[in-house]
Chains A and B, each alone.
Chain A
Amino acid sequence: MKKDITKAFEIVTDWFKSKQRIPFEFQRQVWEYYSKGYNGVLNAPTGSGKTYALWFAALIDYIAENPDDYKKKKVKGLQLLWITPLKALSKDIDKALNETCKELEIPWRVSTRTGDTSGSLKSRQKKNQFEVLITTPESLHVLLSQKDNSELFKELKGIVIDEWHELLGSKRGVQVELALSRLKRIKPGLRVWGISATIGNLKEAMEVLLGNAKQKKKIVKADIKKKIEIESILPDEVEKFPWAGYLGIKLLDKIIPIIRKSKTTLVFTNTRSQTEIWYQKILENYPEFAGTMALHHGSIGRNIRDWVENSLHLGKLKLVVCTSSLDLGVDFTPVETVIQIGSPKGVSRFLQRAGRSGHQPDAISKIYFVPTHSLELVEGAALKEAIKTDQLENRQPLIKPYDVLIQYLVTLAVGEGFDQRTAFDEVRSTFAYETLSENEWSWIMNFITSGGDSLKNYDEYSKVELIDGLYKVTDRRKAMFHKLSIGTIISDLSMNVKYLKGGSLGSVEEGFLTQLKPGDTFSFAGKNLELLHIKETTAYVKRTKNRSNRIPSWQGGRMPLSSQLTKVLRLKLNEAKSGKSEDIELKKIKPIIDLQTARSIVPNSRQFLIEKFESHEGHHLFFYPFEGRLVHEGMGALFAYRISRLKPMSFSIAMNDYGFELLSDSEIPIEQAIKQNLFSDEDIVKDILNSINSSEMAKRRFRQIARITGLIFQGYPGKYKTTRNLQASSQLLFDVFSKYEPESLLIKQSYEEMLQFQLEESRMRIALDRIRKQKLVITVPTRVTPFSFPIMVDRMRERITSEKFEDRVKKMQLRFERDS
C-alpha cells in the first residue's frame, strides 16, 4: 500500500483545529522529518507541546501507512517506545497519549512499565498486547533480560527519549545508548528521537543518542523563548550581611511577603538538611503557614512525596520547601513563584527551577535569588547575565563506563543470550564505547564468564556460559539476582524511618541514627520525632511535641559552581570593581568590594590574586582561581604537595567556590614554589595522585561500580537477612581487588571517575593554563579580607552544627568589624 502522508497530516491538523489550535512550526518540522525517516533531537522546553511533536509524528506515520483502515486495522504489537527518566512523568504522558488515541479513534493501546508496575500487568505486557509502551531506561533493560524479548520489538517503529538532557552525562544515559544499539539491530530502520531542553552541547547530545552509524539526522529547535524574570533579594545593609554562610535564614522576613502575594511558591534549597531547617524556621516564625506548607526532598518517603506533588498539582499548597527533587517532574500549574536560596551552582539548574513557575502559555516564569552571604550577590548578577547571553552548561557524555557494559552484557545473557562478535560490534556502534578495545572487551568477557583468570582448575565460578555459540546465564537463581540488580542508581547507606503504628517517613543516614539513643528526639520530614528503637535497617519513631534542633544531614558532595557560571562571575567581579555597573546586586555589594580593595585587591581579568598573612593559627595563603570547589580542592592538594617537596611541611586545606586556603605552622616558600613551576600542568595526574588520599577517593567511586557490576547484591526488596552472607562492603572489595587484581578494569574505572568527577581534572588544567597567563599579585593584608573570610570559616564548619555555626560566624565577623 502506498503511504498517504497528505491525508495523515490533514487528519492531525483537523484534530488540532477541533481544539482551536494550530500546530507549531517545530511540531510540523518534526512530523516532516520523522515521516521522511530521519532520526534526531527536538530541542524544546517543557510545557511547549514537545510531547505532541513526537507523538503525532508516530501517529501520522501509522495513519499514512494505513490511510483507509487506520481506525479498524488490528495492529498487533509494540509500535512506539517512549523512554522517560522519571517514573512520575510517565503518568501524565500516558494520559495525554491515551486521550488522543481515543479522540482520533486510533486503536492503539498505551501502557506504562516502570519499577512500580504490578506483576500481572507486566505479564500482559509480555504477551505484547500494547502498541505504545512508556518506560524508564532501567525497565527497558529489564525487558531485554526477558526470554524472547526480540519478539516484543519486532513491529517497533520508533523510540522517543524524553528529557534526554537529563539522562545524558549519567550512567542511565549510557544504558539508553546500549539499549538503542540492541533495538536497532533487532529492528533496522527504527527511528530514534530525543527531546532535550537547551544545553551547551546540543549537537553532541544528538551524536551520543544516535551513535556512530551513518544515518539521516536533524536537530529541530522550537523557537519558544520562555520569558523569565529574575530578581535578587537584597539585604538592607550589606555591611551587616554575613560574609560567609549558606543557610540564608537572614532574609526570611523579606521573602515572606513574596510568598503571601503568590498563589503557590516553591522554595529551592541546595541540600536536604537545609530544606528541613528552612521548613522549621518558617513554621517557627510564621506559624500561620502550618497546614498549607510542605517539604519535599529525596530522602522523604515516596508516599509523602506523592502526596506533596499531588497537592501541588491541585493547588492546595501555598508553599513547598524543596531540593532538586522537584527540579524535574510533572507540571505544577498553580506555581507562580520560585525562590532560590543560595547559589544554584549552575545556569541550567537555575533556569530549570525558574521554569517550574508560570506554566500557562505566555505566563512569565518568576524566580527570586536569595543570597546567603555577601559575595553571592555577585552570583545573582552573573546568573542574569549568563541567562541573557545563553551560556548554558554542557552535559558531558560518559566514555566507556565498564560497569554499565558488564551489567548490560549479563542482561543480554539472561535474556536471549548473545553472540560475542555481534555484541562487540553493537556495543562499539554506541558513542560511549566507540573506542572500546579488543583487550578491554576480552577482559570484560573473561570477568563475566570465568570471574577473572582463575588459578584453580576446580574453580566453580560460572555466571555467563557459552552454549551453542551464544553467551547465556542458565542458573535461574543467578538470573533472578541479576534482574533484581539492573540499574545504575544506588541507594545511600540509609535506614528507613517508620512510625511504630505503620507508615514510612523516608530514610536517614545510618551514621546519624546510630548516634541517637531511644528517647532522643529529632526533626525529619518536617515532623518532631522520638526514636523508639532500631531494628535491622529500620528506625521506629513516634511523633512528639518536644521540639528538637537535631536535624539529620545527608552526605553527598557539595556541587561546585559550573565553569559557565564561574566564567561570568569573574567578569561580573571585574565590573563590580569598576563601580560603573548598572546591576543592582553589584551596586549593593560595592562597600564590600571597596573593603576588599582597601585590604588587598580585587583582581581584574589579567591578574591572579594570592593573599598571604599570619595569624595565631599559622601562615595562611589564599588563592582565588574562581573555578568551583572541586577544582579548588584538587588544586589545593596539588599545590600543598608541590610546595612540600621544596620544604617538608604539612598543610591544612580549605576551599569554597571562589578560592582555597593553605594553612601551615611554618612559613610557606610561595615565591620559590612559583618559580619552580607551581602552576605547571606537567605530571599533573601523577602529582595529584601523590598529593591526595587517592585510594580513599577512588574507593568512594568504587561503591557504585561494585553495585552495578553485581559484586554487591542489594538484596530482595524488604528481605534483609537472606542475602546477608553474600554481602561484602565496597571498601573491602576495593581493597582485595587493588591487592589481588590491581589491573582490574573496575579499579581503573574508579580512579578515572575520581579524576573526572571528584577532581574535575580537565577543568583544573584549563584553570592552570589561565593562571599561567595571568599576572601574579601577592598581597599581604593586615586584616582578614571579604574574600578570605568565607574560606577560613569553611575550615571550621566541618564539625559544628549549622545553627551554632551561623552564630559563630556572626561573632567572628563582629570581631573583624570592630578591628577595622
Chain B
Amino acid sequence: MLNNSIEIILNGEELILLPQKAIYIKSESSLLLSDIHLGKTGHFRNAGIALPPGLAYADFEILDELLFESDLKIKKIIVLGDMFHAERNVDWLIFEEWRNLRSEIHIQLIKGNHDKLSNFHYESLGIEVFDSAVLNKFLLVHNYKDAESTEGLYKICGHIHPAVRIHGKGRQGLTLPCFYFGAEFGILPAFGSFTGKHIIRPEEKDIVFVIAGKGHEKKVLQVS
C-alpha cells in the first residue's frame, strides 16, 4: 500500500501522504486526517433521503485498513476538525461500537465548525478535544483562518475539502481531491467518504498532490 503513497519532508518532519487522504507523521507514529463528517449519512437518512446504508461504515473500514497496515505503526489519530457532522444520531452509535473495538488508539480532535456536539460526548469515548494544538513544528487548526501564523510553526489544517481540476484531452476533465502545501499553510483533503470537494486554484509556487484512481489502486501523485 505504501507504494501508492508519497514521502515528503515538511519543516524537517518526515511525512507520508497516504492515498486514503491522511498523513502519517513518522516521528509521532500519528495519523493526521481531517473532515470525516461522520453522521452526515444518518443526518440525510433521518430526513428521508435514502443514501446507501453501507455508507455509514465506509470511513471506519478505511480507518481500520490503515490501523492494520504493518508498514505504519499508528498509535494516535489526530482529527483536524469536522469529525462529526451533525446532531447526535444513529451514526454516533456506530462510532461508539468502533471506538470500543479500537480503544487502544489515542484520539485527539481539533474542533471544527461542524463539531457542535459538546465535549462531553467526545470525552466519554476517550477523545481529547482542543481548539488548536502545536505538534513539533506544526500548528494544527481546523481552518487556516482560525489562527495567526506563528514564527517557526507551519500551519496544517482542513476545512476546505480541497480539490483541483485536471484537464485532459478534448473535453475531458477530472476533479481530484488533493493535499495542498502553500507558503503559509498546508491543507488536507477531506477524509470522509460522503464529503464534497471544493476546487482550489493553486499558484505556481504551491505544491499539490492529488489522489487519483479507484479503490485499492488509489495513488498519491504530485501535480505541481
User: Interface of A with B (CB < 8 Å)?
Assistant: 447-448, 451-456, 458-463, 475, 478, 481, 650, 652-653, 693, 696, 709-711, 713, 725-726, 728-729, 732-733, 736-737, 739-741, 744, 798
Count of B interface residues, CB-CB < 8 Å: 31
A460-B46, A460-B90, A461-B46 as given contacts; A741 in contact with B170, CB under 8 Å: no
Which of these, A447, A456, A739, A798, contacts B50 with CB under 8 Å? Answer: A447
Of the candidate stretches B4-12, B52-60, B119-127, B203-211, the one touching chain A is B52-60
25 inter-chain pairs at a CB distance below 8 angstroms, sorted by A residue, are: A451-B50, A451-B53, A454-B53, A455-B53, A459-B53, A459-B90, A460-B45, A460-B90, A461-B48, A461-B53, A463-B48, A478-B47, A481-B48, A652-B169, A693-B172, A696-B172, A711-B50, A713-B49, A728-B196, A732-B195, A736-B55, A736-B193, A736-B194, A744-B52, A798-B170
A-B contact count (CB 8 A): 90
- Say yes or no: A451 contacts B45, CB within 8 Å: yes
Provide the bound-state CA to CA distance between A458 and B48, in Å: 15
Knowing A452-B52, A452-B53, A736-B55, the reply to whether A652 touches B170 (Cβ < 8 A) is yes
B50, B52, B58, B89: residue with the most chain A Cβ atoms closer than 10 Å: B50
Q: Across the interface, do A459 and B172 meet the contact criterion of CB distance under 8 Å? A: no
Q: How far is the CA of A456 from the CA of B58 in the complex (A)?
A: 13
Which A residues touch B170, using CB under 8 A?
A: 652-653, 798
- For window 24-57 of B, CB contacts with A under 8 Å fall at 42-57
A454-B170 Cα distance, complex, nearest whole Å: 42
- State the 3 A-B residue pairs at the shortest beta-carbon distance, nearest first: A451-B50, A741-B52, A740-B52
- In the complex, the answer to whether A456 meets B90 with C-beta atoms within 8 Å is yes
- Among residues of A, the one whose C-beta sits closest to the C-beta of B49 is A711
Task: Point out the residue from B51, B193, B196 that lies within 8 Å of A729, measured CB to CB.
Answer: B196
Please tell me which one of the listed residues B51, B169, B171 contacts residue A736 in the complex, with CB atoms under 8 A apart: B51
B63 part of interface (Cβ distance < 8 Å): no
B195 / chain A contacts, CB cutoff of 8 Å: 732
Name the residue on B nearest A473 (C-beta): B48
**Known contacts A458-B93, A478-B48, A652-B170; A728/B194 CB under 8 A:** yes
Give Cα A613–Cα B93 distance, bound, in whole angstroms. 66
Chain B residue contacts of A650, Cβ below 8 A? 169
Note all chain B residues with C-beta closer than 8 A to A693: 172
A740 touches B44 (CB 8 A): no
Residues of B within 8 A of A737 (CB): 52
Contact flag A726-B44 (CB < 8 Å), given A455-B53, A740-B52, A740-B58: yes
Given the known interface contacts A456-B94, A460-B90, the answer about A448 and B50 at a Cβ–Cβ threshold of 8 Å is yes
Contact between chains at B46 and A740 (CB < 8 Å): no
- On chain B, the residues within 8 Å of A459 by CB distance are 45, 53, 90
Q: For residue A481, which residues in chain B have a CB less than 8 angstroms away from its CB?
A: 47-48
Question: Which residues from A are CB-within-8-Å of B43?
Answer: 725-726
Give Cα distance in the complex from A204 to B42, angstroms: 45
Q: How far is the CB of A459 from chain B (nearest CB, A)?
A: 6
How far apart are A653's CB and chain B's nearest CB, in angstroms?
7
CB distance from A513 to the nearest CB of B (A): 16
Q: How far is the CA of A728 from the CA of B89 in the complex (A)?
A: 18
A453 to B197, CA, bound (A): 28
Docked pose: A460 CA to B88 CA in angstroms: 12
Q: Which residue of B lies closest to A449 (CB)?
A: B50
**A-B contacts besides A455-B57, A461-B48, 15 pairs, CB < 8 Å:** A452-B51, A453-B53, A454-B53, A455-B54, A460-B45, A463-B50, A481-B48, A652-B169, A732-B196, A736-B55, A736-B193, A737-B52, A740-B52, A740-B54, A744-B52
> Which A residue's beta carbon lies closest to that of B51?
A736
Residues of B within 8 A of A733 (CB): 51
How far does the Cβ of A636 sit from chain B's closest Cβ, in whole Å? 11
**Contact between chains at B90 and A451 (CB < 8 Å):** no
A698 CB, nearest partner CB in chain B, Å: 15
Q: Which residues of A contact B89 (CB under 8 A)?
A: 460
B90 touches A458 (CB 8 A): yes
Q: Are A461 and B50 in contact (CB under 8 A)?
A: yes
Residues of B within 8 A of A458 (CB): 90, 93
List which B148-186 residues lie within 8 A (CB) of chain A.
169-172
Residue of B nearest to A458 (CB): B90
B107 to chain A minimum Cβ distance, whole angstroms, is 22
For A455, list chain B residues within 8 Å (CB). 53-54, 56-57
Q: Tell me if B48 and A475 are in contact (CB < 8 A).
A: yes
Q: What separation, in Å, do the CA atoms of A684 and B50 have in the docked complex? A: 34
Using Cβ atoms and an 8 Å threshold, which residues of chain B touch A460? 42, 45-46, 89-90
Q: Which chain A residues lie closer than 8 Å to B197 at the CB level?
A: 732
- Which residues on A sit within 8 Å (CB–CB) of B50? 447-448, 451-452, 461, 463, 709, 711
- For the complex, give the distance between the alpha carbons of A461 and B90 in Å: 10
In whole Å, how far is B39's beta carbon from the nearest beta carbon of chain A? Answer: 11
Of the residues A448, A461, A709, A732, contact of B194 by C-beta under 8 Å: A732
| Cβ distance B185 to chain A, nearest Cβ, rounded Å | 24
Residues of A within 8 A of B53 (CB): 451-456, 459, 461
Residues of B within 8 Å of A739, CB to CB, are 58, 193
The 8 A CB mask of B187-220 against A (1 = contact, 0 = none) is 0000001111100000000000000000000000
In the bound complex, CA of A798 to CA of B56 (Å)? 41
In the bound assembly, the distance between CA atoms of A458 and B195 in angstroms comes to 23
Q: How far is the CB of B221 from chain A (nearest CB, A)?
A: 19
In the complex, are the beta carbons of B49 and A710 less than 8 A apart?
Answer: yes
Write out the residue numbers on chain A whose beta carbons fall within 8 Å of the beta carbon of B94. 456
A185 CB to closest chain B CB, in angstroms? 26
Bound: A16/B171 CA distance, A: 60
Distance between A712 CB and nearest chain B CB, rounded to angstroms: 8
Which A residue sits closest to B42, measured CB to CB?
A: A460
Complex CA gap A458/B94 in Å reads 10
Closest residue to B94 on the A side, CB-wise? A456
Q: How far is the CA of A711 from the CA of B47 in the complex (A)?
A: 10
Annotate B79-99 by CB proximity to A: 1 below 8 A, 0 otherwise.
000000010011001100000
The complex places the Cα of A354 from the Cα of B90 at a distance, in Å, of 60
Nearest-neighbour CB distance to chain A for B171, whole angstroms, equals: 7
Shortest distance from the beta carbon of B176 to any chain A beta carbon, whole Å: 12
- Chain A minimum-CB-distance residue to B214: A739
CA distance A696 to B168 in the complex (A): 14
A454 to B42, CA, bound (A): 12
Q: For the complex, what is the distance from the CA of A765 to the CA of B218, rounded to whole Å?
A: 36
Residues 94-123 of B, flagged 1 when their CB comes within 8 A of A and 0 if not, give 100000000000000000000000000000
Separation of A739 and B44 alpha carbons in the complex (Å): 18
Closest to B114 in A: A725
Residues from chain A with Cβ under 8 Å of B169 in the complex: 650, 652
In angstroms, Cα B49 to Cα A448, docked, is 9
Residue with the greatest number of chain A CB neighbours at <10 A, chosen from B44, B48, B169: B48
CB distance from A792 to the nearest CB of B (A): 14
Task: Decide yes or no: A461 and B54 within 8 Å by CB, A693-B172, A736-B194 being known contacts.
Answer: no
The answer to whether A798 and B58 touch (CB under 8 A), given A456-B53, A710-B49, A728-B44, is: no
Contacts of B46 in A (CB 8 A): 460-461
B148 to chain A, nearest CB (A): 29
Closest to A453 in B: B53
State A258–B46 Cα separation when bound (angstroms). 62
What is the minimal beta-carbon distance from A686 to any residue of chain B, in angstroms? 19
Q: How far is the CB of B115 from chain A (nearest CB, A)?
A: 14
Residues of A within 8 A of B44 (CB): 726, 728
Neighbouring A residues of B48 by C-beta, 8 Å: 451, 461-463, 475, 478, 481, 710
User: In the docked arrangement, what's the CA distance between A455 and B53, Å?
Assistant: 6
- Distance in angstroms from A125 CB to nearest chain B CB is 27
Q: Which of A453, A725, A740 has the most CB of B within 10 A?
A: A740
A730 to chain B, nearest CB (A): 11
Residues of B contacting A461 in the complex (Cβ-Cβ under 8 angstroms): 45-46, 48, 50, 53
Please indicate which of the listed interface residues B42, B54, B58 has the most CB atoms of chain A within 10 Å of its own CB: B54
B57: nearest residue on chain A (CB-CB)?
A455
Question: In whole angstroms, what is the CA distance A49 to B56 when docked?
Answer: 59
On chain B, the residues within 8 Å of A448 by CB distance are 50
A-facing residues in B50-81 (Cβ within 8 Å): 50-58
Residues of A within 8 A of B171 (CB): 798
